[in-house]
Amino acid sequence: MAESRDTSENKMMQGELEVDVIENTLKNIRPVNEALYATAQKHLDNLTKPPGSLGRLEEFARKLVAITENRNPVLDKKVVFTFAGDHGVVHEGVSAYPKEVTAQMVFNFLRGGAGINVLARHAGAEVIVVDIGVDYDFGEVEGLVKMKVMRGTRNFLKGPAMTREDAARCLKVGIELANGYAGKGYKIFGTGDMGIGNTTPSSAIAAVLTGRPVSRVTGRGTGISEESLNRKINVIEDAIRLNKPDAADAVDVLSKVGGAEIGGIAGLILGAASNRIPVVIDGFISTAGALIAYCMEPGTKDYMFAAHNSAEIGHKAMLEKIGLRPILDLDLRLGEGTGAALAMVLIEAGLKIYREMATFGEAGVSDEIVN
């Protein structure tokens, strides 16, 4: 009995510590300095071009200046975090692939053969693969960041996906990664995911936190049939009725109908904002994590770039809830961080315009407008 009591007390202490980390992170998230947007725009308007003629590239540069509080920022160290986790709800036939594919794809990431590896190399970004909740024992695998909170979530059609304490641990993993890589001098983060079945919890989160009907935010994921899509919608509706996630409490929503990788992504975003580091949100699953972070602290919005609008029908609803405008619209639906890597190229292009383009004075070009 004494040993059992000690274990219980240790778990309580650990849970309190995780809550402290999350609360301290939330306290450290400050509004961006609005005056720096104007300062950056003044410089952009003095470059050899008509004012505003480079559109959203100018927006990206302004936002980087405001986020970093640096009038001449650089993006010399970029990283995409791909969080991997399994989901008990796959047993309900909501995915076209078996859950074993999650672990198989983790090995593919580590070998450098996946879509995210190709596009991250193109963007000049590193890929960090995080096992936060895969139902597989990887052992000693070079390059894998092992921060496993659980071996997959439980089937949320039969009860909560995880405990509130587990959800807090997932958030803490993301925060710790953000703090660690901020300390190593990384200047911009991207989010990515891997987890067979994870469009199902993402749709559940979207429905609860946007107030939209489940059928309006649930898509085909990896390409399921019409019959499977209807089953998926029914599973989510039944799970929400059973678990009653509280839309006013994002951690409750994460614990009852979420996933480990979604929690890790949310924590990474919170940690990025607390360190004044821009974070590029990938697709549907990443945006579910972003929505959790936003509902915990709306100020995180100012630190996010929405990489793209995916082919998943619920993605747009979540972006609208947060108030983010996607950079790309390419019908992407792979996840992994692929959209984030692509968007990083354009974000950096905007910064290079800001840093490298000549001013009118430097180029000897008249800036006088003739009416």
Catalytic (active-site) positions: 336
E strands present in the chain: 78-85, 125-133, 144-146, 188-194, 279-281, 304-306
Give the pair of three-digit tokens for residue 316. 């747009």
> Which distant-in-sequence residues (6+ apart) come within 8 Å of 230 by Cβ?
none
Distances (CA, A) of 133 to 86, 109, 143, 173, 336: 6, 16, 17, 11, 15
Q: Residue with structure tokens 């559109």?
A: 55
Count of helices and strands (H, E) across the chain = 14, 6
- Whether residue 82 contacts residue 115, with contact meaning beta carbons closer than 8 Å, is answered with no
> Which distant-in-sequence residues (6+ apart) come within 8 Å of 11 by Cβ?
165
Which sign, positive or negative, has the C-alpha torsion 293, 172, 343, 205? Answer: negative
Nearest to 341 by CA among 118, 67, 128: 118
| Rg of the chain in Å (alpha carbons) | 21
Q: Which amino acid is at 133?
A: G
> How far apart (Å, rounded) are the C-alpha atoms in residues 317 and 209?
10
> How far apart (Å, rounded) are the C-alpha atoms in residues 124 and 121?
5
Give the pair of three-digit tokens for residue 150. 């659980």
Where would I find the H helices in 164-314?
A: 164-183, 199-210, 226-243, 250-257, 260-274, 284-296
Strand partners for 82: 129, 192
> How far apart (Å, rounded) are the C-alpha atoms in residues 329 and 332?
8
> How far apart (Å, rounded) are the C-alpha atoms in residues 292 and 22?
13
